[in-house]
Amino acid sequence: MRDDHHNIEPSQTPVQTLGPAKIANPIFKSSAQAKLGRQRFVDESVRMRVDPYLRPQDPTCTEEPSFERAGPREKIYFDPTKLKAAIVTCGGMCPGINSLVRAIVLQLHYIYGVRNVVGVRYGLQGFIPAYGHDLMDLNPTTVQNVHGRGGSFLGMSRGGQSIEEIVDSLERQNIGLLFMIGGDGTLRAAQSITEEITARGVKTGVVAIPKTIDNDISFVQVTFGFQTAVEAATRAILGAHNEATGAPGGVGLLKLMGRYSGFVAAHATLALTEVNFCLIPEVDWDLEGPQGLLSRLEERLQARGHAVIVVAEGAGQKLFEGLDLGQDASGNLKLGDIGTYLKERIGAYFHERAQEINLKYIDPSYLIRSVPATPNDRVYTGFLGHHAVHAGLAGKTGLLVSLWNDHFVHVPIKLAVSHRSYVDPEGGLWRAVREATGQPDLINEV
């Protein structure tokens, strides 16, 4: 993994606060928590290095970039008995959303005593009166069984909404703390909302929890749902392999998620080493020519009689250069459909050579996105939800909760969206993929 964390400055890591925290944390009042003593609370001075390999005596670094450590503070900013909190889920589906919402609600209700919690329906649309989406009351009863379901019971949507209208809605409904669950686009919206709130002098906190199957959020060790996605993708690879070995000249072609980063494709390939070609956005490859994919696939079929190809959705986009594909609802440039493109080109290539192949194309993306989370991801979302609540009640704002170098930390949203995490073509992960697949370079010599 690479996300250029060596290039940040210490001035980029402080987290914004709404004001001085003066209220005693109520979790200390319960007998069970009191027995743990005050060591349960995290001191504001405790910080974790951004780069764990940077030595303190490094003469090139006078002040190390570091993140606040997440966890409960001895003093909090909000009075829980008077606080109204809201939760919104945005973007596309991802395993673990429901268990994360449940964790936030239960933590607010049982640990801090917050009784006024609402769910915003269908993403940021839920803030805009014109859409007519009602808020949903969230309490232990309404969330008691949601963690076993896939998808998002609050509903989701894509597309930009007016930041001014969103903040108007927060003010109008007296929401003091907003939890935003989403990917890169949602994080950028969260940053804009934070800036608008700050400009107005409103005392509303914004805490984000990064959500993306692609695992490409910077300064996040792993996003929730990623492990579940890899497990589901592995089952799809097995299906592609069974199809390929069950017919003469069998080719299993599988398209997986990965718009800009090929983590799902790479990890799934390593989890089930039946893949012969793994194509990701970070590594260039040619389709035609003596060393291109088609020629290499022909060699593979002649040698072994079958092949499995895994391609991330963002791979091979140079093949669509010059085409105006437009933008999606979130303003992202639409990608060319590399899966169906490869299906057609592979079929045409072998038809021209009068060579029989049996190609089976599988695109399980939407099935993978909507499956229930695995136990590991449920545990992970529990920790993320707890730390998000601790941060929000303490008056932290404009941050996301992250697992970084095996510690939960607070990362300023502005910093997180300034980079992107991606597979390093020269790193250990891609080297392991190359060794597992045995695939050669797919670039023709110039």
- Whole-number pLDDT of residue 39: 54
**Burial classification of residue 383, based on how many CB atoms lie within 10 Å of its CB (0-12 exposed, 13-18 middle, 19 or more buried):** middle
- Whole-number pLDDT of residue 147: 82
**What percent of the chain stands above pLDDT 70?**
92
Task: Name residues whose C-beta falls within 8 Å of residue 387's C-beta, 6 or more positions apart in sequence.
Answer: 70, 71, 401, 408
pLDDT-wise least confident of 50-64, 89-103, 211-225:
50-64
Residue 137: pLDDT above 70?
Answer: yes
* Tokens 């909302």, residue located: 193
Q: How far is residue 193 CA from its own chain's centroid?
A: 20
Query: With contact defined as beta carbons under 8 Å apart, do 237 and 209 qualify?
Result: no
Q: Which of 35-44, 51-60, 112-121, 365-374 has the highest mean pLDDT?
A: 112-121
Residue 35: pLDDT above 90?
Answer: no
- Whole-number pLDDT of residue 148: 78
- Whole-number pLDDT of residue 403: 96
Confidence of residue 38 (pLDDT cuts 50, 70, 90): low
Bridge-partner residues for 306, per DSSP?
250
- pLDDT, average across residues 327-341: 81
Q: Which of 25-34, 109-118, 417-426 has the highest mean pLDDT?
A: 109-118
Query: With contact defined as beta carbons under 8 Å apart, do 69 and 102 qualify?
Result: no
- Whole-number pLDDT of residue 40: 79
DSSP state of 217: -
d(CA 401, CA 217): 12
d(CA 40, CA 74): 9
Residue range 201-238, pLDDT digits in tens? 999 999 999 999 999 999 999 999 999 999 999 999 99
- Whole-number pLDDT of residue 296: 97
d(CA 214, CA 230): 10
- pLDDT, average across residues 48-57: 69
Residue 263: pLDDT above 60?
Answer: yes
* 132, 171, 244, 316, 343 from 127: Cα distances, Å: 9, 11, 49, 38, 42
Query: With contact defined as beta carbons under 8 Å apart, do 265 and 425 qualify?
Result: no
Helix 375-393 × helix 97-106 angle, to 10°? 40
Angle at Cα 293 formed by Cα 291 and Cα 299, nearest 5°? 75
Residue range 423-433, pLDDT digits in tens? 999 999 999 99
Task: Name residues whose C-beta falls within 8 Å of residue 348's C-beta, 6 or more positions apart in sequence.
Answer: none
Residue type, 3: D
- Whole-number pLDDT of residue 133: 95
According to DSSP, the β-strands at 205-210 and 250-256 are: unpaired
- Whole-number pLDDT of residue 324: 73
Is the torsion defined by CA of 155, 102, 267, 90 positive or negative? positive
Please name the helix (run of DSSP H) or strand (run of DSSP E) that holds residue 102, with its range, or none: helix 97-106
- pLDDT, average across residues 180-192: 95
Task: Name residues whose C-beta falls within 8 Å of residue 373's C-beta, 6 or more positions apart in sequence.
Answer: 95, 96, 98, 99, 147, 150, 224, 225, 228, 381
As annotated, the active-site residues are 214
d(CA 279, CA 275): 11
**What percent of the chain stands above pLDDT 90?**
81
- Whole-number pLDDT of residue 325: 72
- pLDDT, average across residues 315-324: 90
- Whole-number pLDDT of residue 363: 96
- pLDDT, average across residues 174-188: 96
pLDDT-wise least confident of 158-162, 313-317, 395-399:
158-162
Residue 245: pLDDT above 70?
Answer: yes
Confidence of residue 59 (pLDDT cuts 50, 70, 90): very low
Q: What is the mean pLDDT of the chain?
A: 91
Query: With contact defined as beta carbons under 8 Å apart, do 18 and 397 qualify?
Result: yes
Residue 29: pLDDT above 70?
Answer: no
Q: How many CB atoms lie within 10 A of CB 377?
A: 24
Residue 393: pLDDT above 90?
Answer: yes
Residue 254: pLDDT above 90?
Answer: yes
- Whole-number pLDDT of residue 57: 47
Domains in the chain and their CATH numbers?
A: 5-224+372-416 (3.40.50.450), 226-370+425-437 (3.40.50.460)
Confidence of residue 329 (pLDDT cuts 50, 70, 90): low
DSSP state of 108: I
